[in-house]
Amino acid sequence: MAYFRSATHVFLWGAISLFIACSKPAPPAAAAPTPAAPPYHPVASIREVMNSVIDPNVDVVWNAVKTDIDHGKQIEHAPANDDEWAMVRHSAMTVSEGANLLMMPGRNVAPPGAGSLSPGIELAPDQVRALIDKSPSGWNQFARALQDSLQPALDAIDKKDKQALFEAGDKIDEVCESCHQVFWYPQQGTEAAAPKTASAAPSGTAR
C-alpha cells in the first residue's frame, strides 16, 4: 500500500514539475520551497492593542447610552442622529475586529523591557506570555468571546435601540474581566487556564 502511495507521489510530482517547468522559466536550481511567511506583521504589543484599539473604542460603546446626574437633574445621553450612531458603530466594529488582533500569533505581551505595571497584583509580561503559550486555545476563546460579545451591540446600533445597546455593555465587560482574571491577574480560585505556579510567581520572578 505504502509503496503504491509513494509511487503515485513520485508520478504526481513528476507531472507537476513538468507542468511548472513548461509553464514558467526554469527557477534557479536547488531553490527549496520554504513555507510562506505570514504577510502580516504585529506592530503593537497586547498591552498597546488594549490601550490603543480595544479600550478607547469600547469606551465609546459603553458611554453611548448613559444617564448623568447634574445638580440633581438626570441627563440622558444617547446617539441623537445618524452620524452619532455611525460613530458608535465604527467603535463597536473596531473592538470586534480588534479581537482578531489578539488572536494573531507572534505579538508581544508588552513593549520590550516593560514590566508589570502593578507588580504583585498583575503578572509580568513574561508570565502572561507563559500562560498564553500554555493555553493558546483558551486565550483564543476569550478573544473570540470578546468578538461575539460585540454582536448584540452592533445589532442594537443597527436598530438604533438605545436600551439594547446599554444592556449589551455589561456582557462585553464580563468578557474583558474574565480574560483579565485568567491571563493578567489570576487570583486563587479564579484561574481556569492558569497553572498553580503562575499565581505564586509574581513576588519571585516578576521583573
Q: Which residues are at the interface with ligand HEC (CB under 6 A)?
A: 46-47, 50-51, 54-55, 58, 102, 109-110, 117, 125, 128, 139, 142-143, 146, 172, 175-176, 179-180, 183-184
Cβ-based neighbours of 203, under 8 Å, separated by 6 or more: 120
Cβ-based neighbours of 42, under 8 Å, separated by 6 or more: 101, 104, 106, 107, 108
CB-nearer residue toward ligand HEC: 74 or 137: 137
Residue 14's φ and ψ, nearest 5 degrees, are: -55, -45
First-to-last C-alpha distance (Å) of the chain: 57
Q: Residue 105 and residue 120: Cα distance in Å, rounded?
A: 27
Question: Residue 87 or 138: which CB sits closer to ligand HEC?
Answer: 138
Smallest gap from residue 71 Cβ to ligand HEC (A): 31
- Least separation in angstroms between residue 183's CB and ligand HEC is 4
SS3 (DSSP) at 113: coil
Which is nearer to ligand HEC, 16 or 117 (by Cβ)? 117
Pairwise CA distance, residues 98 & 143, whole Å:
9
Please work out, in degrees rounded to the nearest 5, the angle formed at the alpha carbon of residue 177 by the alpha carbons of 173 and 181: 175
- Kindly state the smallest distance separating residue 17's Cβ from ligand HEC, in Å: 45
Which CB sits closer to ligand HEC, 54 or 130?
A: 54
State which residue, 85 or 142, has the beta carbon closest to ligand HEC: 142
- Residue 66 beta carbon to ligand HEC: minimum distance, rounded to whole angstroms: 16
Closest approach of Cβ 55 to ligand HEC, in Å?
4
